[in-house]
Amino acid sequence: MEKEFEYVESTSSGQILRKKAKSTRIPYEHQIKAMQCLDKINESPSFATMVVLPTGGGKTYTASVWLLKNAINKKKKVLWIAHRQMLLDQALESFANHACLDYIPNISSFNFRIVSGAERHGRTIDINTDDQLVIASKDSIGRNLKCLDNWLADDDELYFVIDEAHHSIAKTYRKIIDHVKELVPNLKIIGLTATPFRTSKKEEGLLSKIFTDGVDLKKTDPVYGDLGLAYAINLKELIKRQILSTPIFEHYYTEERYGDDLSVDEWNTIHRFDSIPEDIAIKMVQSKERNNLIVKTYKEKQKEYGQTLVFAVNIDHAIQLKALFEKAGIKADYIVSSLTISRLLINLSKENEKKIQAYREGKLQVLINVNILTEGVDLPQTQTVFLARPTVSTILMTQMVGRALRGVKAGGTANAYIVSFIDNWNEHIAWVNPESLFEGSNDFFDKDPGKRIKRDMMMISVAKLEEFAKILDDTVDTTKLENVPFLERIPLGMYTFSYTENSFGKNQDIDYTCEVMVYNSTEKSYQDFINYLPELFKKYNSTDTDTLPDEILFKMEAECHDKFFKYETIPPYAEEDVLNILKYYDQYSVAPQFYSFDYIDKNRLDITQIAQFIINAKLGRIEEKEYITALWNNNDENILKLFFVNKTIFKRHIDIEIDKILEPPEGINISYPKIPLIDLPLYEIGKVFPQHEQYLRDITFEKSKNADGKFQCAHCGVTGDNRLGFEVDHITPMNKGGKSVPENLQILCRSCNRKKSDK
């Protein structure tokens, strides 16, 4: 007997039914003002504007309520785009919660669809013309723009919301915006963000080109420049109005020391991915002193702290803390994300919800959490957060701190305690200080020279880790590196930037933070490389692709290496640095910001002078050790301690400099004859006469064109419209007497050149 088809309920689409009653939530003054400004700008047939509300200011609520009134109620379609799945769920929840009689009096229901790579969400191919509200990830839409064509075929107006709109200058967003503009005559774009500006001035310019329309508001803050703003309010103003709590910061020092012997990979993992290495996490979890300090701190000020969220290192840490809190007579429990604890065969979402509800009802005093409760969960009774795990992510820190910031007028508390537990990491990792979120000092271009120097030296020290590690490794020959004057091994500055990459395995975006250090030996190469980026992308880019595939990026990197970085430099060329800049440019179409270190007094880092003093003063071994220890332990914002990873490395470099002074390398007593350029390979010619090398390459490519004007391989005859895939080759090899002259040069495709090389 044939089995009947079975149907399951889908949560990716459906109808939102209008509530019978009016909304009981009263918007705050700033939300009313933001909606009024949107009303004013909505008088235009099309616009592109931005609403800036800080974390806790209710961006999603403000936008969804306004759209229910002005778009959904009038049967106009809404496209809501975000780059994180969590933001999509949050938007849908807001539309459903506020679909009330007073907001949508003209309709009884409307169709929605939520689209992303998550299993619980739908696919772009399923978007239907009857869907009035489409909430989608930018990657899902960006990979299939045609899905919008049928959906918008009969519409002359669309409300298009971009959540976290400071990301909208990325190529995927720009492609979506351009495509929708072609489909809909009257496009109304609303960008939502808490942080409108990124690091680069060029990026700010691009943002202003997207969001061009504003409301004639009284300008109280000139930082927004030409950006088209409907409305903006800052964090301090919301605190002043008691919508957000006044933060009270407390710091407790654990006296625990971590990270002295981190590998380069581990340092990079912390710096770029905000992930604590497993062996250190185990030490943190097993530290009785650290865990007891956390519980003791709460116990002693339980009345002031009230209900508290504790952000733990991992699941094992949460379990340990729960046991200690309960032992101290404090009702506590923990919740974790499903990704963190997938090994346990329980329904985590139901378990978590039960515990969250118990916390809401006051049955729990402390709720410990791992990778959850950072955004989208409303717990207004929370008065305190315990930061029992450090983070280098400003976004994560903002989310953690934000859990306690519900002010009196928002049903929360007047004050919020932000309690940090600080370990000794030897100041070489730029952990985020929660106070910086309110002082504005998290701005990369901090005007406080003391803070700038300290932060910059931390970044430099991370960048120098690999160099230091090689020098300490006796199996690696570092003679050339050690012979470079030490001051030339201190970077001149760096390119600093971040880009987003989708992890298809996890269906989520990952933010990559990069600092590319520039030295004397690479300064010109990087300048030429950065200037070449527009031409390079014009040559390789394809209008069919959203983000360039790795295969193309690697080809671009190879070309840039041959063009700008093929000569030996110390420190050596890093392929990853160029690839990261290429990925950034691919996303944002602007060069990253260069950040100069010219204000740092590098003479204070000159260990050659330290070595010379030790020699001139004729210090004995004990005196020398005491002198070096005194330098290292100097408490006056010690720039040496910030630059060098540890005292062992510092001492090793002093020893190297002493040896160089006492035993300078002997001059080489060999006389070399001069040879003509034509007897050198092309890359050697380029070292001494780069213009001639370029001339030889250009003339060879020019003479290799066929009758159709295409470049043609001299061996197999394959042709191409540009130089991509072809290489200049000597017809008669140099080891058989061939010369580097035009008549002995040809172009081969890479395949033929490899075969010839193998032979």
pLDDT at 681: 86
Could you give the angle at the alpha carbon of 98 between the alpha carbons of 96 and 101, nearest 5°?
110
pLDDT confidence of residue 11:
77
Per-residue model confidence (pLDDT) at position 752: 85
The answer, yes or no, to whether residue 724 has pLDDT greater than 80, is no
Helices (H), 633-719: 639-643, 647-662, 682-688, 690-703
Q: Which tokens hold the place of 233?
A: 């309010």
Q: What is residue 528's predicted lDDT score, i.e. its pLDDT?
A: 93
Helix or strand or coil: residue 82? strand
pLDDT band at 649 (very low <50, low <70, confident <90, very high): confident
* pLDDT class of 450 with cuts at 50, 70, 90: low
**Mean pLDDT throughout 648-655?**
84
As a whole number of angstroms, the distance between CA 454 and CA 669 comes to 46
pLDDT at 150 over 60: yes
| Residue 151 pLDDT > 80 | yes
Query: Under a CB-based contact definition with an 8 Å cutoff, are residues 357 and 282 in contact?
Result: no
Can you give the pLDDT at residue 401?
84
pLDDT reported for residue 449:
52
pTM of the predicted model over 0.85: no
Domain locations along the chain: 13-233, 246-442, 484-596, 677-758
Mean pLDDT, residues 595-606: 76
What is the pLDDT averaged over residues 10-36? 91
The reported pLDDT for the residue numbered 639 is 67
The winner for highest mean pLDDT among 31-35, 540-544, 649-653 is 31-35
Inform me whether the pLDDT recorded for 462 exceeds 60: no
Mean pLDDT lowest among 100-104, 163-167, 459-463, 608-612:
459-463
Mean pLDDT of all residues in the chain?
82
Class of the domain covering 13-233: alpha beta
What's the pLDDT tens digit per position in 657-712? 888 888 876 655 566 677 788 888 887 787 778 788 888 988 999 999 999 999 99
Q: Which residues contact 316 (CB under 8 A, 6 or more apart)?
A: 282, 285
Measured CA to CA in angstroms, residue 212 lies from 130, 207, 232, 590 at distances of 31, 9, 15, 19
pLDDT at 58 over 80: yes
Residue predicted with more confidence, 87 or 289: 289
Q: Which two tokens stand for residue 92?
A: 């849908």
Q: pLDDT tens for residues 313-338?
A: 988 999 999 999 999 999 999 988 64
pLDDT of residue 439: 59
Give residue 284's pLDDT band: very low, low, confident or very high (50, 70, 90).
very high
User: Strand 332-336 vs strand 47-52: parallel, antiparallel, or unpaired?
Assistant: unpaired
Mean pLDDT to the nearest integer, 718-730:
85
User: Distance between CA atoms of 259 and 276, rounded to whole angstroms?
Assistant: 10
| CA pair distance 168, 190, nearest whole angstrom | 11
Greater model confidence, 481 or 29: 29
Query: Would 13-233 and 246-442 be classified into the same CATH topology?
Result: yes
The region of weakest confidence among 198-207, 390-399, 512-521, 747-756 is: 198-207
The fold of 677-758 is DNA Binding (I), subunit A (1.10.30)
Q: Which one of 98-112, 365-379, 393-407, 434-448 scores highest in mean pLDDT? A: 98-112
More confident residue, 346 or 75: 75
What is d(CA 392, CA 540) in angstroms, rounded to the nearest whole number? Answer: 35
The 10s digit of each residue's pLDDT in 245-261 is 889 999 999 988 887 77
CATH topology of domain 246-442: Rossmann fold (3.40.50)
Proportion of the chain above pLDDT 90, given as a percent: 37
Per-residue model confidence (pLDDT) at position 345: 36
- In whole angstroms, give the CA distance from residue 612 to residue 596: 29
The DSSP code for 175 is: H
Strands in 229-232's sheet, in edge-to-edge order, are: 13-17, 109-115, 133-137, 77-82, 157-162, 186-193, 47-52, 229-232
When mean pLDDT is compared across 448-462, 525-539, 591-605, 658-672, the lowest value belongs to 448-462
Average pLDDT over residues 434-449: 55
Place 301 in a pLDDT band, splitting at 50, 70 and 90.
Answer: very high
Q: How far is CA 321 from the centre of its chain?
A: 31
Res 440 pLDDT > 50: no
- The pLDDT, as a whole number, for residue 474 is 61
**Which pLDDT tens digit goes with each residue over 342-352?**
344 344 566 77
**Angle of helix 171-183 relative to helix 575-588, nearest 10 degrees?**
20
